[in-house]
Structure formats: C-alpha cells, structure tokens
Amino acid sequence: QVQLAESGGGLVQAGGSLRLTCAASGRTFRNYFMAWFRAAPGKEREFVAAIVWSGAHTIYADSVRGRFTISTDNAKNTVYLQMSSLKPEDTAIYYCAASDTFHYYPTPSNFASWGQGTQVTVSS
C-alpha cells in the first residue's frame, strides 16, 4: 500500500508563494506517476500538475502553468508543488495522488492512492 501525507498549506496574500510537500511511503516509487489535484468549495476535484517520479516528464493545468512547479526528491520520497503568484482562485484543498501508470490527461479516477489534503487559502 502507498501512504501519502501532504503538508505546507496555509493562508497567504495574493501574489505570494507557498510550497506544498507530499511525503510518500510504503513501497518503491521509482516508476510511479505523481500528481497534485485541488478541490475548491462546492467544486469537483481538478487536476493541477503531475510528474513522472524520475522527473523526466511534467504536465500542468493551463490555469497554473508558469506559476506552479512540480518536482521530486528521490532520496526523500517526496513530491513538491512550488506555488508562486498565487491568486484568490487558487484557494482550495490540495491533494497528492499516486498511480503506477502514466497518464497524458490525468483525472482523479486514474489515481488509486491519495493523501488527506492540505488547505491553501489566498486572500485578496
């Protein structure tokens, strides 16, 4: 089983930055496909960014491309989401997810393992 634990959320002003962390455990992640999703109040969970564990390939949602960066630290079994130029519409619960299969167009149903989520609130 894969265990995922997010941290790093909080309250930040518009234009600010945050770095989310996803600590992964339970198995070897060398061939895993990791992603961040978010769920705003009253909205469905949406894709934010994804990365092949080796870091060789990344995918971003149009709404965050150029502002967010996803990365991995293999030695620490950790995935990061660096968020910059934050906007009020980025306010959501952010979830880390893991899949043993690469997906060109990631959706929540592609991922079997999920963390508990971390709240990000961006004030205007």
DSSP 105: S
Q: What is the mean pLDDT of residues 81-109?
A: 96
Q: Which amino acid, one-letter code, is at 31?
A: N
What is the residue-wise DSSP string for 35-50? EEEEE-TTS--EEEEE
Q: What is the mean pLDDT of residues 79-97?
A: 97
What local confidence, expressed as pLDDT, does residue 55 receive? 80
How far is Cα 58 from Cα 16, in angstroms, rounded to an integer?
Answer: 23
pLDDT in tens, 50-84: 999 888 899 999 999 999 999 999 889 999 999 99
Residue 87 reports pLDDT greater than 80: yes
